[in-house]
Chains A and B, each alone.
Chain A
């Protein structure tokens, strides 16, 4: 069970809805992932009706928790505008806040992110802030009113996996709000390793949408997240630089 701002969610795996080949494949993958929280983006409707990109009729809000994002926003003002539009759609007051600082890496503009977090938290939004793996920014976001902090494993869409387990562990150890690692996982072992750091959840999109078989990968990710969480709770053995035999050293034949 994952709890964010007093709201209980059934799965620690959160998934995006972008880049799937078909809506049917997206729905099947989300189903296989077991995710309850699914992210969506706000964009202009197509007035010539040639491209009905609207996604709601594939994702019944009675079944999924729709978490709108501010992807593509490069300033605090822009992200605030998108968040307000998303809230008016009337599903909830949660927002996955992104303020991007660089087109090549999609790394966050942490100054803009902090500013937007303060404004939106003041307006009653439940802000889940997408950020880098920097502890100080994470602490400032919590102070600014974020209900969850979402450090990256590696850049959005890169599939490079968890680049800095130490920083993720440190952020988890120092913040009180839930830590949801967002972006960068590529395969199930990445998801497992992320969860082994003790974080509260993971959000992923490209790793599923761009897998050869998204539905099978979604199932693998579900297992990876569960395995990683269980391993974290179980507590791993210490790492040693020497070998210690597993079988008795006594009772050997002469």
Chain B
């Protein structure tokens, strides 16, 4: 499957849900927030939300800032 994640094209994704995708990317679902095609995926919905070919995702977290 082909996805755009944080602005970069990614091929060969096997995950079918957002939660599986985060785990496949080595990310802790509790430590990030995900936007799928510009809509925020609520935490409780991470497992039930499907990803499809061509989806655009943003995965963010907190970093140092003023």
Please measure, in the bound complex, the distance between the C-alpha atom of A47 and the C-alpha atom of B60, giving whole angstroms: 10
Please measure, in the bound complex, the distance between the C-alpha atom of A8 and the C-alpha atom of B22, giving whole angstroms: 36
- Residue of A whose beta carbon sits closest to that of B28: A54
Say yes or no: A17 contacts B64, CB within 8 Å.
Answer: yes
A55 CB contact (under 8 Å) in B25, B26, B62: B62
Say yes or no: B40 contacts A56, CB within 8 Å.
Answer: no
- Tell whether A88 is near chain B: CB-to-CB under 8 Å: yes
Say yes or no: A40 contacts B43, CB within 8 Å.
Answer: no
Say yes or no: A16 contacts B60, CB within 8 Å.
Answer: no
- 15 A-B residue pairs with Cβ-Cβ distance under 8 Å, sorted by A, are A16-B64, A18-B66, A19-B66, A45-B27, A45-B32, A45-B59, A45-B60, A47-B5, A56-B61, A56-B62, A66-B62, A86-B33, A88-B43, A89-B62, A203-B66
Say yes or no: B31 contacts A56, CB within 8 Å.
Answer: yes
Those of A3-42 within 8 Å (CB) of chain B: 16-20, 26, 39-42
- Tell whether A132 is near chain B: CB-to-CB under 8 Å: no
Contacts A47-B6, A47-B25, A49-B26; A40 near B33 (Cβ below 8 A): no
- Tell whether A110 is near chain B: CB-to-CB under 8 Å: no
A155 CB to nearest B CB, Å: 12
Please measure, in the bound complex, the distance between the C-alpha atom of A84 and the C-alpha atom of B34, giving whole angstroms: 11
- Tell whether A206 is near chain B: CB-to-CB under 8 Å: yes
Contacts A44-B60, A45-B27, A47-B5; A18 near B33 (Cβ below 8 A): no
- Tell whether A107 is near chain B: CB-to-CB under 8 Å: no
Q: Give the A interface residue count (CB, 8 A).
A: 36
> Which A-B residue pairs are the 3 nearest by beta carbons?
A41-B65, A16-B66, A205-B66
Q: Which residues of chain B come closer than 8 Å to A227, judged between CB atoms? A: none
- Tell whether A68 is near chain B: CB-to-CB under 8 Å: yes
- Residue of A whose beta carbon sits closest to that of B42: A88
Say yes or no: A88 contacts B33, CB within 8 Å.
Answer: yes
Q: Which residues of chain A come closer than 8 Å to B63, judged between CB atoms? A: 40-43, 53-55
Say yes or no: B8 contacts A45, CB within 8 Å.
Answer: no
Flag A200-244 by CB within 8 Å of B: 1 or 0 each. 000111100000000000000000000000000000000000000
Say yes or no: A90 contacts B64, CB within 8 Å.
Answer: no
Say yes or no: A206 contacts B66, CB within 8 Å.
Answer: yes
Say yes or no: B66 contacts A69, CB within 8 Å.
Answer: yes
- Tell whether A121 is near chain B: CB-to-CB under 8 Å: no
- Tell whether A156 is near chain B: CB-to-CB under 8 Å: yes
Please measure, in the bound complex, the distance between the C-alpha atom of A40 and the C-alpha atom of B63, giving whole angstroms: 6
Please measure, in the bound complex, the distance between the C-alpha atom of A85 and the C-alpha atom of B5, giving whole angstroms: 16
B65 CB contact (under 8 Å) in A16, A45, A183: A16
Q: Which residues of chain B come closer than 8 Å to A90, judged between CB atoms? A: 43
Flag B16-37 by CB within 8 Å of A: 1 or 0 each. 0000000001110001110100
